[in-house]
Amino acid sequence: MKPASIKDIASKANVSITTVSFILNGKAEQMRISKAVIEKVNTIIKEFDFKPNQVARSLRTGNTQTIGLIVEDISNPFFASIARKIEDKAYKKGYKISYSSTENDPVKAKELIEMFKARQVDAYIIAPVPGIESEIKQLLTERIPVVIFDRNLPDMEVNYVVVDNFNGTYIATKHLIDSGKKNIAFVTVDLHVDQINNRFLGYEKALQDRGIQFNKDIYTEIPFDSTDDNTTAQLMLLFEKNPEIDAVLFSTNYLAIKGLLVLKLIKKEINDDFSIVAYDDHDVFKLHTPPISVVDQPIEEMAEKIIDVLLNELASASNTLIKKEASKIILQPKFIKR
Amino acid sequence: MKPASIKDIASKANVSITTVSFILNGKAEQMRISKAVIEKVNTIIKEFDFKPNQVARSLRTGNTQTIGLIVEDISNPFFASIARKIEDKAYKKGYKISYSSTENDPVKAKELIEMFKARQVDAYIIAPVPGIESEIKQLLTERIPVVIFDRNLPDMEVNYVVVDNFNGTYIATKHLIDSGKKNIAFVTVDLHVDQINNRFLGYEKALQDRGIQFNKDIYTEIPFDSTDDNTTAQLMLLFEKNPEIDAVLFSTNYLAIKGLLVLKLIKKEINDDFSIVAYDDHDVFKLHTPPISVVDQPIEEMAEKIIDVLLNELASASNTLIKKEASKIILQPKFIKR
DNA sequence: ATGAAAGCGCTAACAA
DNA sequence: TTGTTAGCGCTTTCAT
Indicate yes or no: CB of B264 within 8 angstroms of CB of A287.
Answer: yes
Q: At what angle do helices B17-24 and B6-13 cross, to 10 degrees?
A: 110
Q: What is the pLDDT of residues B107-146, one digit of tens each?
A: 999 999 999 999 999 999 999 988 899 999 999 988 899 9
End-to-end CA distance of chain B: 62
Tell me which protein residue sits closest to nucleotide C8, measuring alpha carbon to C1'. Answer: A60
Q: How far, in Å, is the CA of B56 from the C1' of nucleotide D8? A: 9
Specify the pLDDT at position B3: 78
The answer to whether the CB of B169 falls within 8 A of the CB of B293 is no
Q: CA torsion sign, B99 to B100 to B106 to B108?
A: negative
Specify the pLDDT at position A33: 80
Nearest CA in chain A to B1: A142
Indicate yes or no: CB of A84 within 8 angstroms of CB of B101.
Answer: yes
Q: At what angle do helices B228-241 and B253-265 cross, to 10 degrees?
A: 70
Tell me which protein residue sits closest to nucleotide D1, measuring alpha carbon to C1'. Answer: B33
Q: Whose CB is within 7 A of strand C?
A: A 14-19, 22, 31-34, 36-37, 56, 59-60; B 2, 5-7, 17-18, 21, 24-25, 27, 52-53, 56-57, 59-61
**pTM of this prediction?**
0.89
Q: What is the pLDDT of residues B56-115, one digit of tens each?
A: 999 999 999 999 999 999 998 899 999 999 999 999 998 999 999 999 899 999 999 999
Specify the pLDDT at position B158: 94
Q: Is A298 on the interface with B (CB under 8 A)?
A: no
Pairing label, strands B334-336, B123-126: unpaired
- For A211: left if phi > 0, alpha if psi spans -120 to 50, otherwise beta; the answer is left
Using the predicted structure, report yes or no on whether residue B210 has a pLDDT greater than 70.
Answer: yes
Q: CA torsion sign, B312 to A113 to A194 to A331?
A: negative
Question: CB atoms < 10 A from the CB of A134, how many?
Answer: 9
Q: Is B106 on the interface with A (CB under 8 A)?
A: no
Using the predicted structure, report yes or no on whether residue A11 has a pLDDT greater than 90.
Answer: no
Using the predicted structure, report yes or no on whether residue B204 has a pLDDT greater than 90.
Answer: yes
Region A267-275: what's the mean pLDDT? 94
Closest residue to A51, CB basis, from B55, B66, B118 = B118
Based on its alpha-carbon atoms, the radius of gyration of chain A, rounded to whole angstroms, reads 26
Specify the pLDDT at position A42: 87
Using the predicted structure, report yes or no on whether residue B219 has a pLDDT greater than 80.
Answer: yes
Please report which confidence band the pLDDT of residue B1 belongs to, taking 50, 70 and 90 as the band edges. Answer: low
- Distances A327 to A93, A157, A162 between C-alpha atoms, Å: 20, 9, 11
Specify the pLDDT at position B315: 83
The answer to whether the CB of B211 falls within 8 A of the CB of B178 is no
Q: Could you tell me which of B129, B261, B95 has the C-alpha nearest to residue A100?
A: B95
Give percent above pLDDT 90 in chain B.
69
Question: CB atoms < 10 A from the CB of A107, how many?
Answer: 12
- Distances A242 to A177, A185, A189, A214, A315 between C-alpha atoms, Å: 18, 9, 19, 14, 56
Edge-first strand listing for the sheet containing B184-189: B219-222, B184-189, B247-250, B275-279, B293-296, B334-336
**Burial of residue A35 (number of CB atoms within 10 Å: 0-12, 13-18, 19+):** exposed
Biggest CA–CA distance in chain A, Å, is 86
Using the predicted structure, report yes or no on whether residue B323 has a pLDDT greater than 70.
Answer: no
Give percent above pLDDT 90 in chain A.
70
The C-alpha atoms of residue A159 and residue B91 are separated, in whole angstroms, by 28
B60 touches strand D (CB under 7 A): yes
How near does any CA of chain A get to the CA of B298, in Å? 16
Region A156-171: what's the mean pLDDT? 95
Region A264-281: what's the mean pLDDT? 94
Specify the pLDDT at position A37: 83
Closest residue to B75, CB basis, from A59, A81, A117 = A81
Indicate yes or no: CB of B118 within 8 angstroms of CB of A284.
Answer: no
| DSSP state for residue B182 in the 8-state scheme | -
**Burial of residue B212 (number of CB atoms within 10 Å: 0-12, 13-18, 19+):** middle
Using the predicted structure, report yes or no on whether residue A7 has a pLDDT greater than 80.
Answer: yes
Q: How far, in Å, is the CA of B63 from the C1' of nucleotide D6? A: 20
Interface of B with A in 155-214 (CB under 8 A): none
Do you know the residue count of chain B?
338
**Residues of chain B found within 8 Å of residue A264, distances taken between Cβ atoms:** 287
Specify the pLDDT at position B47: 86
State which nucleotides on strand C lie below 7 Å from a protein beta carbon: 1-5, 7-13
Q: Is A75 on the interface with B (CB under 8 A)?
A: yes
Tell me which protein residue sits closest to nucleotide C13, measuring alpha carbon to C1'. Answer: B18
Q: Residue A304, SS3?
A: helix
Q: What is the pLDDT of residues B177-186, one digit of tens each?
A: 999 999 999 9
The C-alpha atoms of residue B203 and residue B169 are separated, in whole angstroms, by 5
Tell me which protein residue sits closest to nucleotide D3, measuring alpha carbon to C1'. Answer: B16
Region A102-115: what's the mean pLDDT? 93
Please report which confidence band the pLDDT of residue A130 belongs to, taking 50, 70 and 90 as the band edges. Answer: confident
Region B234-261: what's the mean pLDDT? 95
Nearest CA in chain B to A286: B261
Indicate yes or no: CB of A77 within 8 angstroms of CB of B77.
Answer: yes
Using the predicted structure, report yes or no on whether residue B321 has a pLDDT greater than 70.
Answer: no
Specify the pLDDT at position B31: 67
The C-alpha atoms of residue A316 and residue A314 are separated, in whole angstroms, by 6
Using the predicted structure, report yes or no on whether residue B159 has a pLDDT greater than 80.
Answer: yes
Question: CB atoms < 10 A from the CB of A293, how many?
Answer: 22
Specify the pLDDT at position B114: 93
**Residues of chain A found within 8 Å of residue B284, distances taken between Cβ atoms:** 283-284, 287
Interface of A with B in 271-290 (CB under 8 A): 282-284, 286-289
Q: What is the pLDDT of residues B31-45, one digit of tens each?
A: 677 888 888 888 888
How near does any CA of chain A get to the CA of B91, in Å? 9
Indicate yes or no: CB of B261 within 8 angstroms of CB of A287.
Answer: yes
The C-alpha atoms of residue A152 and residue A60 are separated, in whole angstroms, by 35
Q: Is A96 on the interface with B (CB under 8 A)?
A: yes
φ and ψ at residue B46, rounded to 5 degrees = -65, -45
Based on its alpha-carbon atoms, the radius of gyration of chain B, rounded to whole angstroms, reads 26
Query: What integer best gives the mean pLDDT of chain A?
Result: 91
**Burial of residue A121 (number of CB atoms within 10 Å: 0-12, 13-18, 19+):** buried
The answer to whether the CB of B149 falls within 8 A of the CB of B302 is yes
Q: How many CA atoms does the CB half-sphere of B139 hold within 13 Å?
A: 29
Please report which confidence band the pLDDT of residue A1 belongs to, taking 50, 70 and 90 as the band edges. Answer: low
Specify the pLDDT at position B64: 95
The C-alpha atoms of residue A9 and residue A23 are separated, in whole angstroms, by 11
**Residues of chain A found within 8 Å of residue B66, distances taken between Cβ atoms:** 98, 119
Specify the pLDDT at position A242: 96
Question: CB atoms < 10 A from the CB of A20, how many?
Answer: 28
Query: What integer best gives the mean pLDDT of chain B?
Result: 91
